[in-house]
C-alpha cells in the first residue's frame, strides 16, 4: 500500500514539475532547466505511466503528444456566442466609437483596456473544476468544431488551471497563433521535405489546428493567448477587464504582455500609434489593436448591437496582404550581375501604400510557387520590407496564364547569362560592359569602405553613365571641371569638391582597392586577408584557385569567384588603367614569405588573458607574422584561451585545434 502511495505521489510530483517548466518556458519565456533535464523528467513520467496505465489522467503532460486520427470533427454549440468585433480603420472611426460610449454611459472620459489584435485563430477553452475538458474553434460564432485533442498538444495551454479556487465551469477565449521565428523554421522544414509552404503564420496556425491527426498538430509550434472569459459558474468576476486578464494570468494562461489601460480618445490613439511603430519587432503577427471599456458593469450597460458588442472595437492596421493580378515579370540586373525577376502588378493598396512591383527572388522560387504571368496573387508588404509575392490563387486561373522563362541573354547588355550549378541565381557575364552593373559597380567602387569618394552618389553616377562620360572606374579619374559643369545640379563648387575627393582617393590601401573592385563573394574581411596574404596586386591577379585556397577563411566558392574575376581580360584592363591614372597603394612582402616565428599560422583568442589585452596579444602575434581570426575553423592553428572562454573553445575541441594559454603563447612567440 505504501509503495502504491509513493508511486502515485511520484507521478503527481512529476506532472506538477513538468507543467511548471512548461509554464516557465511557453508562457513566461523564462526556462529554468536545460532541455536535457526536461526530457529526462518527461521520459520518467512516460515510463511510469506505461508500466501503470491506471495512473494516466487526461491532464497528464504525456497526453499532449496527440492521438490517432479522427474521421471528422464533431460540432460544438457555444454556450455564449463568440461574436466578432466592429472594425475601425481610421482616427475618425475611433473618435466616433469613443463618442458613442461616452454618450451611452453619460460620462466625460472613459478608461479602456487595450491590447494587440492577434492575427491567429479564435478558440474557446472550457475548464471544469480547473481541468481542461473541451476546446472549440469559433466557427460561425454560434457553432464551432471540437478540436480538444489538438489543443491538448499546445504546451502554452494549461491542462489544469494553476489555482485552488477554480470556477465550477469557465470558458476562456483567446487566439491560437504561431510565432514568426517558429513559422520560418516550419517553412524551412516544409521546403526541405519537398512539401508545400504556408503563406503566413495565421494560415500555418489554422492548418495545424484543424488536423484530424492530432499527432501532426503536436509537431507544430503553436502558441495560445487568452483575452477574455465567458460563462463563469461559481466565480465572481473582477470589476474590470484589466483585472480579468490579470486573473487569467494568475491561473497560468498566457495573456498579452502588451496590454494596457488608457484614458480617453488620446490614450487610444497613442496606444495604436505605439503598437504600429513596434509591430515589426513583435515576435508574433498582429493586424491591429483592440479597445474595450475597462469596467465590466459599463460593458453590461452598453450591451450588444447585431453580432458585435457596443463596448469594444478593433482598430485595424492597413492590410499587409492583398490580392491583385500579376501582369508581367521583368528581370533586373544587379551590381554583381545577378538577375532578379520582378513582378509587375495591377496597382493594389497594401501595407499603407500603393504597390505596383514585388520581388519574386529567383527562378527557383517562381517554380516552387508556380507563379505565372496573368495569375491572381497574394502580395505582402510588412513595414519597410520590399513587397513580395507570397502565393498564387490557382482557383482563379482561366487557362490563359503564361509560365515564366528566365532569359538566356542579359536584358540590359545582351551578354550571355550563366547559372552555376550550386546557385539559385542566374548572372550576366557582361561585367563592366553591362550598363546595369556599371552603375552599381561605380557606386560600390566609390563607397566609403572602398575608395571613399565623397559626393559621388546615385544621381551623379546615373548621369555619368547615361551621358557616356564614364564606362569604368578609371574614367572617374579623367573627369574635368568642364565636363562636370554640364551636369544637372552640379555647380562650380560641387564640381571642385568632387574632383578633390577623386584626387584624394588615388592614395589608398591594397585591401580597400581589392574590395572596391566588387569581386563577387569578397567582402571587407576577405579583401584584407587577400592583401595580407599576397602583399601585392600582381601576385593576387596571377594566383590560381589552389593558391587562393591557402588564404585563411577562403573556401572553394570564394576562390572560384576571385579566379574567374581575374580571368576576364576587361577586368585586368581596368586595373591597369586605374594604375595608369595614378591610383596607388603600398605593397608588402607576401605573408607566405614574411619573416617571423609565427608566419603562416592562424590564431583565435577567447576569454580573458592574465596580463595581456586582446589588442596586445594580437599585436604580438602579427609582429611575428601570424594572423588573428575572429572564428575557429579547420584552418585555425592555435586557440589562445584565457579565463571564461566562450563557444570558441568548444569549437576548437570539436575540431581538434591546439589550445594554449598565455604562457603557451609566449613560448610560441619566443620560438
What the chain holds in terms of domains, given with CATH numbers, is 2-65 (1.10.287.610), 87-316 (3.30.470.30), 321-403 (2.40.50.140), 431-505 (1.10.150.20), 510-592 (1.10.150.20), 594-669 (3.40.50.10190)
Rounded mean pLDDT, 323-347:
91
> Quick check: is 180 catalytic?
no
* pLDDT above 90: residue 436: no
Query: With bands split at pLDDT 50, 70 and 90, how would you rate the model's confidence at 581?
Result: very high
Query: With bands split at pLDDT 50, 70 and 90, how would you rate the model's confidence at 501?
Result: very high
Annotated catalytic residue within 117, 369, 439, 648 = 117
* pLDDT above 70: residue 431: no
Query: With bands split at pLDDT 50, 70 and 90, how would you rate the model's confidence at 83?
Result: confident
> Taking Cα atoms as reference points, which of 451, 589, 575 lies closest to residue 532?
589
pTM: 0.53
Dihedral pair phi/psi, residue 69, rounded to 5°: -60, 145
Residue 451: what pLDDT? 95
Residue 390: what pLDDT? 86
Query: With bands split at pLDDT 50, 70 and 90, how would you rate the model's confidence at 113?
Result: very high
Distance from the Cα of residue 75 to its chain's centroid:
38
* Inter-residue contact 337 to 437 (CB < 8 Å): yes
Rounded mean pLDDT, 227-232:
90
The CA distance from 160 to 253, in Å, is 10
Residue 115: what pLDDT? 97
Q: Which three cell numbers stand for residue 346?
A: 495591377
Residue 42: what pLDDT? 75
- What count of Cα atoms within 13 Å lies in the side-chain half-sphere of residue 111? 11
Residue 47: what pLDDT? 83
Dihedral pair phi/psi, residue 258, rounded to 5°: -95, 5
> Taking Cα atoms as reference points, which of 147, 170, 142 lies closest to residue 78?
142
The CA distance from 639 to 625, in Å, is 16
* pLDDT above 60: residue 67: no
Query: With bands split at pLDDT 50, 70 and 90, how would you rate the model's confidence at 591?
Result: low
Distance from the Cα of residue 19 to its chain's centroid:
30
Q: What percent of the chain has pLDDT over 90?
A: 46
Distance from the Cα of residue 49 to its chain's centroid:
40
Query: With bands split at pLDDT 50, 70 and 90, how would you rate the model's confidence at 619?
Result: confident
Helix intervals (H) in 319-473: 363-369, 435-446, 458-466
Average pLDDT, the chain: 87
The CA distance from 168 to 161, in Å, is 12
Q: What percent of the chain has pLDDT over 70?
A: 95
Whole-number Cα distances in Å, 668 to 475, 598, 638, 671: 49, 8, 10, 5
Residue 420: what pLDDT? 74
The pairing of beta strand 402-403 with beta strand 388-392: unpaired
Amino acid at each position: 500500500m505504501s509503495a502504491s502511495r509513493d508511486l502515485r505521489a511520484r507521478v503527481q510530483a512529476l506532472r506538477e514539475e513538468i507543467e511548471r517548466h512548461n509554464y516557465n518556458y511557453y508562457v513566461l519565456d523564462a526556462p529554468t532547466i536545460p532541455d536535457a533535464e526536461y526530457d529526462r523528467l518527461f521520459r520518467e513520467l512516460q515510463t511510469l505511466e506505461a508500466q501503470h496505465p491506471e495512473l494516466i489522467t487526461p491532464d497528464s503532460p504525456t497526453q499532449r503528444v496527440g492521438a490517432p486520427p479522427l474521421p471528422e470533427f464533431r460540432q460544438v454549440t457555444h454556450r455564449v456566442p463568440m461574436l466578432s468585433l466592429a472594425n475601425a480603420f481610421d482616427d475618425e472611426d475611433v473618435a466616433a466609437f469613443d463618442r458613442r460610449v461616452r454618450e451611452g454611459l453619460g460620462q466625460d472620459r472613459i478608461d479602456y483596456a487595450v491590447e494587440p489584435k492577434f492575427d491567429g485563430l479564435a478558440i474557446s477553452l472550457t475548464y471544469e473544476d480547473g481541468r481542461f475538458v473541451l476546446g472549440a474553434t469559433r466557427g460561425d460564432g454560434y457553432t464551432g468544431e471540437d478540436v480538444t485533442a489538438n489543443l491538448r498538444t499546445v504546451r502554452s495551454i494549461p491542462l489544469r488551471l494553476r489555482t485552488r479556487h477554480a470556477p465550477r465551469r469557465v470558458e476562456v477565449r483567446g487566439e491560437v497563433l504561431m510565432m514568426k521565428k517558429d513559422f520560418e523554421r516550419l517553412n524551412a522544414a516544409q521546403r526541405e521535405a519537398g512539401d508545400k509552404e504556408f503563406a503566413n503564420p495565421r494560415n500555418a496556425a489554422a492548418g495545424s489546428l484543424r488536423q484530424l491527426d492530432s499527432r501532426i498538430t503536436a509537431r507544430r509550434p503553436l502558441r495560445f493567448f487568452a483575452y477574455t472569459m465567458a460563462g463563469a459558474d461559481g466565480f465572481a468576476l473582477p470589476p474590470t477587464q484589466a483585472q480579468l486578464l490579470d486573473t487569467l494570468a494568475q491561473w497560468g494562461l498566457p495573456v498579452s504582455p502588451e496590454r494596457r489601460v488608457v484614458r480617453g480618445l488620446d490614450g487610444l490613439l497613442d496606444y495604436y500609434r505605439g503598437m504600429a511603430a513596434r509591430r515589426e519587432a513583435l515576435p508574433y503577427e498582429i493586424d491591429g489593436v483592440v479597445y474595450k471599456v475597462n469596467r465590466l458593469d459599463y460593458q453590461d450597460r452598453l450591451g450588444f448591437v447585431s453580432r458585435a458588442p457596443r463596448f469594444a472595437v478593433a482598430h485595424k492596421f492597413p492590410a499587409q496582404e492583398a490580392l491583385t493580378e500579376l501582369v508581367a515579370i521583368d528581370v533586373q540586373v544587379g551590381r554583381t550581375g545577378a538577375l532578379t525577376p520582378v513582378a509587375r502588378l495591377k496597382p493594389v493598396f497594401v501595407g499603407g501604400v500603393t504597390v505596383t512591383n514585388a520581388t519574386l527572388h529567383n527562378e527557383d522560387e517562381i517554380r516552387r510557387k508556380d507563379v505565372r504571368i496573368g495569375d491572381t496573387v497574394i502580395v505582402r508588404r510588412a513595414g519597410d520590407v520590399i513587397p513580395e509575392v507570397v502565393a498564387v490563387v490557382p482557383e482563379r486561373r482561366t487557362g490563359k496564364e503564361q509560365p515564366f522563362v528566365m532569359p538566356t541573354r542579359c536584358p540590359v547588355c545582351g551578354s550571355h547569362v550563366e547559372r552555376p550549378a550550386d546557385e539559385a541565381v542566374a548572372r550576366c557575364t557582361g561585367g563592366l560592359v553591362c550598363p546595369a552593373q556599371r552603375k552599381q559597380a561605380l557606386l560600390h567602387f566609390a563607397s566609403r569602405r572602398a575608395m571613399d569618394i565623397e559626393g559621388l552618389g546615385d544621381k551623379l553616377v546615373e548621369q555619368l553613365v547615361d551621358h557616356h562620360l564614364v564606362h569604368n572606374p578609371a574614367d572617374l579619374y579623367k573627369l574635368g571641371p568642364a565636363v562636370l559643369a554640364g551636369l544637372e545640379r552640379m555647380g562650380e563648387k560641387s564640381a571642385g569638391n568632387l574632383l578633390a575627393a577623386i584626387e584624394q582617393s588615388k592614395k589608398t590601401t591594397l585591401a580597400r582597392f581589392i574590395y572596391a573592385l566588387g569581386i563577387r563573394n569578397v567582402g571587407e574581411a576577405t579583401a584584407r586577408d587577400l592583401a595580407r596574404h599576397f602583399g601585392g596586386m600582381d601576385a593576387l591577379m596571377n594566383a590560381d584557385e589552389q593558391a587562393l585556397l591557402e588564404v585563411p577563411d577562403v573556401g572553394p566558392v570564394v576562390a572560384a569567384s576571385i579566379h574567374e574575376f581575374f580571368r576576364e581580360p576587361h577586368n585586368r584592363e581596368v586595373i591597369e588603367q586605374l594604375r595608369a591614372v595614378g591610383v596607388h597603394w603600398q605593397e608588402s612582402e607576401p605573408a607566405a614569405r614574411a619573416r617571423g616565428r609565427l608566419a603562416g599560422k592562424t590564431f583565435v583568442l577567447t576569454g580573458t588573458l592574465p596580463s595581456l589585452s586582446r589588442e596586445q596579444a594580437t599585436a604580438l602575434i602579427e609582429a611575428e607574422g601570424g594572423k588573428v581570426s575572429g572564428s575557429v575553423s579547420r584552418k585555425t592553428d592555435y586557440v589562445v584561451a584565457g579565463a571564461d572562454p566562450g563557444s570558441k573553445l568548444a569549437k576548437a575541441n570539436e575540431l581538434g585545434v591546439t589550445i594554449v594559454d598565455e604562457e603557451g603563447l609566449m613560448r610560441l612567440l619566443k620560438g
